[in-house]
A and B are shown apart, each in its own frame.
Chain A
């Protein structure tokens, strides 16, 4: 075993580096989270907080919001501005998956899954990638393997410790590129919502935005679970409740600051892989891209020419497709397009929660017996059997995606999805019996279009406003302060 020994007492080894030819895709658009609150939703929230057994604890708010969070917070239907990816979405490129083993001095073993895409796909005559091709990191995931001795033998289970999107703004290259000129991108992570609420005067100025929330050149992390509306809303509510319960001075600002701290994102600079990279890529403290040369420096035992850890799938294995010919563009604002956007931002995060690397499902409520999900394929990371998670995954998919899409089963749907976590997602979406519309989403770059990035500069402001009202309302409900009134007027503004 060839290990590279870092100064931090951490040994890092590349286990596998896979390159898969990605297709050519339609343009992608920002679809940031938008919030929508109406009396019906609030009554539902009320009824879940005020149960026959008394008020529930808001620190378990994820459970309270199951099935309705998506209706409150979801990616907007209307396409925002186009998202920039190096060389454009019509360029052939590789999607990559790199597994790295990190052994710390405490003998704790963790596997990092680094996933992303190359700027282009050009091979030398030998079939090796151009050594100068730049690979951009889309997400970093920490997997933990636990070996159990069972009556049936040794069982290896893979758990996901954390998974974060790496937010890189490709429209910033010293200057804003044309498509986003004069567009200030902002983040609307839970942390940003609270930060905004602490210092709203900056963000409300119209010209001056909270610097901490601007999404500019500086890369940063965002938890994948932020793409799940239940987690997103749940974090906001439970962290607020957690902050209220802290022995602090009780001022609003202090509570907001504490709540912001409770939902703070992981720091990119603390990611072990990024830290290791930064030893060799010195032009930035938080490198988010690398070349094959960098990899060889990172792990000197890794020789792209001869190393069988580098696996390059050829086009004859995985056909490189121009999906623009086979799928709808993403420029509409129909319910079908919004559904596809919700699925493509949500499903990978659900899969990641359960260590699933590949799925193929049909979901519909058009058959007798209510909503149904039929599984055609499911695979786990490292080939681990994850079929036992299917009931939980079904529940998550129904709650996060289809309860919103169907408006709590008021609209009918028939959706087929086939998705490989590190590559792309192919969907066919039919709502209310209308013809099925095909969509293909390049999920290998899904950090670019996570709904927590907004090209609507006032979105942070409006989201914070709605979340503020929601917090106020749920807190009052949970404290019994505002007993149920059968009228919507108790949440008028």
Chain B
């Protein structure tokens, strides 16, 4: 049964990591890969990340491997190396998805010849970006080049996990705090008589309005970021639980947008999230025995705060509260926000459903030999870009190909769009 249980847990892990740009081969070796790019081994402090398959548990060397088992969490500790790596990938993948959707929709807005093909529902966003032109697109492209993919300052979105976070005056075991640095900078009122710049890129007033409208369209309630804060009071793996809840909250919205415009966005499946498997987080108790069947693995045990032990010991006098617990990190200055929507994972509106289908399609879109509505052969993209990788970086850095940010190298589409000089959003991202 252990073997069976281990395999089941491994299956869950496979599905979870697939949402953050990781894939695992049959032997359990995890690689970083997004949008069909070249796989790169996922390393944690130089050690290969592997799934806890029975074989890996028997043979993986602690010197060379780190076993992925974040559902066994020591509640006393901080973020583990494994969860930190997972969250790093999570942030990168989220930024990729948002960047992809923004550039795609902006491109669609500029390509007026396609507007007649849009349904009334699909056309709604056009009024938001009616002022957009190629300069707006160039500005977004320029901003995207500067975006760090896992940064609290230069990114579309950033997440981190807080212990004992307070939301709506209520303390929670773990809170996945979500911020939108790009939006935060964009929404600031421009200073009078000063050029308007966002992330160091000069914008026209119309550009600002378009980009603001666009990101608010993709992420409704972006001005209330706590809407997307995943909170967890689970007694099993609360850190992963809150991350997964944020993944579902934002992933649901990304899926909505992606599916709505799937006829007009190439490779849209690469930005989407498979949220079905995550419903198990509503009932982690049911797999607790399976979780415990795999012992704690090095790299998952959690960090300890740098000063916590010292503070705790020297903090006060016993016996009562003799050793005050390590300082609780609370969002105590947080105003009494509205409570995040407390939805269960099973109740989420998951447009992927179990077998996500795109409008007019009878099977999942495939990269190979698929031709998009825009006439671009997606397969060509990936044949042309074997080295594509957004996630293979161990250190934060923008997506680079041949020492250039991938955003910087326009793709010359032969059949996408009517303006041959207009760079394709696909090219910008994938090439």
Q: Closest residue of chain B to A241, judged by CB?
A: B319
Q: A333 CA to B64 CA in the complex, in Å?
A: 13
Interface stretch of the complex, out of A130-138, A352-360, A439-447, A485-493 = A485-493
B2 and A432 within 8 A (CB): yes
5 more A-B residue pairs beyond the given contacts A196-B309, A472-B325, with a C-beta to C-beta distance below 8 A = A37-B76, A39-B75, A39-B235, A468-B312, A469-B312
Q: Residue of B at shortest CB range from A333?
A: B57
Residues of A within 8 A of B309 (CB): 196-197, 200, 204, 461, 464-465, 468
Q: Restricting to B300-334, which residues have a CB under 8 Å from any CB of A?
A: 301, 304-310, 312-326, 328-329
CB-based contact B323/A493 at 8 Å? no
Which A residues between 474 and 493 are near B, CB-CB below 8 angstroms?
Answer: 475-476, 479, 481, 487-489, 491-493
The reply to whether the CB of A256 lies closer than 8 angstroms to some CB of chain B is: yes
Cross-chain pairs A/B with CB under 8 angstroms, 9 sampled: A34-B296, A40-B235, A81-B63, A196-B309, A334-B57, A475-B320, A489-B164, A489-B172, A492-B75
Interface residues of B (CB under 8 A from A): 1-3, 5, 54, 57-63, 67, 73-78, 163-164, 171-173, 233, 235-236, 288-289, 292-298, 301, 304-310, 312-326, 328-329
> CB distance A76 to B1 under 8 Å?
no
**Smallest Cβ distance from B283 to chain A, in angstroms?**
16
Interface of B is mostly: loop
Contact present for B293 and A432 (CB under 8 Å) = yes
Complex Cα gap A82–B204 (Å)? 64
Closest to A197 in B: B313
Neighbouring B residues of A204 by C-beta, 8 Å: 306-307, 309-310
Q: Are B59 and A466 in contact (CB under 8 A)?
A: no
Task: For B313, give its contact among A77, A252, A475 (CB under 8 Å).
Answer: A252
CB–CB A333/B295 < 8 A: yes
> Residues of B contacting A40 with CB < 8 Å?
235
Task: Confirm or deny: A375 has a beta carbon within 8 angstroms of a beta carbon on chain B.
Answer: no
Q: Is A410 an interface residue (CB 8 A)?
A: yes
A345 within 8 A of B: no
The 10 closest A-B pairs by CB, nearest first: A77-B295, A432-B1, A39-B235, A472-B323, A492-B164, A465-B304, A481-B320, A332-B58, A432-B2, A78-B298
Q: Judge whether B315 and A252 touch: CB under 8 Å.
A: yes
User: Least Cβ distance of B310 to chain A in Å?
Assistant: 5
Distance A331 CA – B59 CA, assembled complex (angstroms): 7
State whether B314 touches A253 (Cβ < 8 A): yes
Is the beta-carbon distance between B298 and A335 smaller than 8 angstroms? Answer: no
- Asked whether, in the complex, the Cβ of A493 is within 8 Å of the Cβ of B308, the reply is yes
- Please tell me which one of the listed residues B54, B292, B319 contacts residue A411 in the complex, with CB atoms under 8 A apart: B292
- Contact at B297–A78, with CB atoms within 8 Å? yes
Assess whether B163 is in contact with A493, with CB atoms less than 8 Å apart: yes
A392-431 Cβ-contact flags toward B at 8 Å (1 or 0): 0000000000000001001110000000000000000001
How far is the CB of B7 from the nearest CB of chain A, in Å? 12
Quick check: A493 and B3 within 8 Å, CB to CB?
no
Shortest distance between the CB of A164 and any CB in chain B (Å):
28
Interface contact B318-A475, CB-CB below 8 Å: yes
Contact check, A466 vs B74: say whether CB atoms are below 8 A apart: yes
With beta carbons under 8 angstroms apart, the residue of A37, A200, A334, A338 that contacts B58 is: A334
Which residue in chain A gives the minimum CB-CB distance to B330? A492
Nearest B-chain residue to A82, judged by Cβ:
B63
Distance in angstroms between the alpha carbons of A76 and B297 in the assembled complex: 8
CA distance A252 to B323 in the complex (A): 8
Task: Establish whether residues B74 and A38, one from each chain, have CB atoms under 8 Å apart when the complex forms.
Answer: yes
Determine if A80 is an interface residue (Cβ-Cβ < 8 Å): yes
Q: Is A387 an interface residue (CB 8 A)?
A: no
Q: Which residue of B lies closest to A466 (CB)?
A: B76
- A438 touches B (CB below 8 Å): no
Interface 1/0s, chain A 244-276, versus B by CB < 8 A? 100000111101100000000000000000000
A103 to B3, CA, bound (A): 57
Cα distance A241–B322 in the bound complex, in angstroms: 11
Scoring A255, A335, A472 by chain B CB atoms within 10 A of each residue's CB, the highest score goes to: A472
Does A471 reach chain B (CB closer than 8 Å)?
yes
The reply to whether the CB of A434 lies closer than 8 angstroms to some CB of chain B is yes
Which residue of B76, B293, B317, B328 contacts A465 across the interface (Cβ within 8 Å)?
B76
Given A200-B310, A331-B61, A466-B76, does the pair A252, B316 have CB atoms closer than 8 Å? yes
**Looking across the interface, which residue of chain A has its beta carbon closest to that of B295?**
A77
B60 touches A333 (CB 8 A): yes
* B425 CB → nearest A CB, Å: 44
A79 to B60 alpha-carbon distance, docked (Å) = 9
By a CB distance below 8 angstroms, the chain A residues around B310 are: 200-201, 204
Asked whether B76 lies within 8 Å of A333 as measured between CB atoms, the reply is no
A475 to B319, CA, bound (A): 7
Let me know if A139 is at the binding interface, CB within 8 A.
Answer: no
A38 nearest in chain B by CB position:
B75
- How far apart are the CA atoms of A454 and B233 in the complex, in Å? 33
Q: Does B163 lie within 8 Å of A76, measured CB to CB?
A: no
B294 lies within 8 A of A335 (CB): yes
Cα-based distance from A365 to B3 in the complex (angstroms): 19
A462 interface residue, CB < 8 Å from B?
A: yes
Contacts of B317 in A (CB 8 A): 250-252
CB atoms of B323 and A471 under 8 A apart: yes
Complex formed: what's the CA distance from A221 to B319 in Å? 31
Q: Contacts of A493 on B, CB cut-off 8 Å? A: 76-78, 163-164, 305, 308, 325-326, 328-329
